[in-house]
Amino acid sequence: MILVIVEIVKVILFLMVVLSVGGLLSWVERRMSGFIQDRLGPNRANVVLFGRNITIGGLLHPVADGLKMLFKEDFVPEGAHRILFVLAPFLAMLFVLMGFASIPFAQSLNINGYEVRFFFFDFDVGMLFIFAVSSLSIFGAILGGYSSNNKWALLGGVRAAAQLISYEVVIGLGILSIVIVYNSLSVVEILQKQDSILFGFLPNWGIFIQPLSFILIFVALLAEGKRAPFDIPEGESEIIGYFVEYSGLKFAMFFLSEFIEIIFIAAIITLLFLGGYHLPYLSSEDYINAVPFVFLVFGILPLSLSYFAFRYHKSVSFFLILLFIGIASLIVSITSLFVSNETLWAEILVRISQMLVFSIKTGLVTFLLFSIRWTFPRYRFDQLLKISWEKLVPISILNILLTGFLLL
């Protein structure tokens, strides 16, 4: 019974965190686009408290977007397939969330004989599960375009299907090379094998032993996530997209699932190529020694950002939030120095540190994805397919052959 309650709590906490971060990423993308384009970004949504306009650095914009979509008219267009039209946004959200099921965010923790795992399922073929779920996530776009009774939406769905088929091949071949190197399909085992040193000085991370696979999978996941410069299914200047007939909460689910998929893509890159929650040159047994350093870094980052929030954006509320997070992390960093390594609290701090390390790595990859979004122009549809079939697929096959030859 206790294990069932623990799993239910894990699901609730996971949904709260992922959905909140997904909504927050809409603000992050606007802020980054403003920074890249030399403008302020979102800063208009506000509430008035004690005669002052409180904007929290633009963080009220996702709240305003949510309220707007909640009260907008939600309708089904005439001639649309009602069941599939309603089902499509739910499938888009469901399959993206399912992808996180076998991703370990930290080591398991034993509490009085009960094993608390920081993931949901440990499949022996976890990589195949991730590969399958990432393929299914496109069904929301395909069904949304097909069921809308709109030619532009249908064209977006067809583009999404062609894009999926093209780049799923690249992802499969890239994952195969990783599986060959680590000799396992288990996500947990692949992560454990990255907790070592290669050639006596190099972390045994995927990005160092399979750099070509890193580039191939990164590009393919970017395309499968329908992110610019591969956002062909929703090219606003051409066809509007597969969600053209959606509004209200159904559109919000498509919108939010896209940002959650960014987190999923960044988590997969972190898991396979950046060592997951591992730190370089530090084994899992010695992780307790790095806890103060992890919290120190996690405290310095918001403190640095608080300066820019106050200096350049004049946002006192956002400055105070970042200042509080930074000071709290520094307090935990100092307190952890006085915690005995043999206690349960030390083990809990280690797991929190591992989740923070995983989050920081995932955040850096997300930052890179957003930078690409506002840097490169959109490809034409024929160029998109040529990149996959004429360049990436042959390189992927060559990479597998080369990997097998080197391991013989």
Are the C-beta atoms of residues 205 and 170 closer than 8 Å to each other?
no
pLDDT tens column, 71-114: 888 888 888 888 999 999 999 899 999 989 889 999 888 877 77
Q: How many angstroms separate the CA atoms of 73 and 71, rounded?
A: 7
**5 HSE (CA, 13 A, CB side):** 3
* Neighbouring C-beta atoms of residue 195, cutoff 10 Å: 21
Q: How many CB atoms lie within 10 A of CB 378?
A: 16
Rounded distance between C-alpha atoms, residue 306 and residue 318, angstroms? 7
Other residues' Cβ atoms within 10 Å of the Cβ of residue 113 = 5
Residues 6+ apart with CB under 8 A from 318: 55, 56, 57, 58, 59, 306, 309
Q: How high is the pLDDT of residue 1?
A: 66
pLDDT averaged over every residue in the chain = 86
pLDDT at 362 over 80: yes
Q: How far apart are CA 382 and CA 378, in angstroms?
A: 12
Res. 117: pLDDT tops 90: no
pLDDT tens, position by position, 278-292: 998 887 778 888 888
DSSP state of 234: G
**If you average pLDDT over residues 300-306, what whole number do you get?**
84
Nearest one of 360, 209, 389 to 276, comparing CA atoms:
360
Residue 236 pLDDT class (50, 70, 90 cuts): low
Query: Two tokens at 119?
Result: 């993931």
Single out the residue of 255, 209, 198 nearest to residue 69, CA to CA: 255
According to the model, what pLDDT value does residue 208 have?
93
Strand partners, 197: 203
pLDDT at 313: 64
Q: What share of the chain is helix, strand, coil (3-state, %, to 5)?
A: 70, 5, 30
Residue of higher predicted confidence among 269 and 311: 269
**52 class by beta-carbon count within 10 Å (0-12 exposed, 13-18 middle, 19+ buried):** exposed
From the list 52, 29, 58, 21, the residue with the least C-alpha distance to 309 is 58
pLDDT at 286: 80
3-state secondary structure of 49: strand
Please state, for a pLDDT cut of 90, what percent of the chain lies above it. Answer: 25
Type of residue found at 361: K
**Predicted pLDDT at 58:** 80
Q: How far apart are CA 146 and CA 152, in angstroms?
A: 10
Q: Is the peptide bond before 302 cis (omega within 30 degrees of 0)?
A: no
Task: Select the more confidently predicted residue: 317 or 27.
Answer: 27
Q: Is the pLDDT of residue 408 over 80?
A: no
Instruction: Report the chain's terminal Cα–Cα distance, integer Å.
Output: 49
pLDDT value at position 237? 67
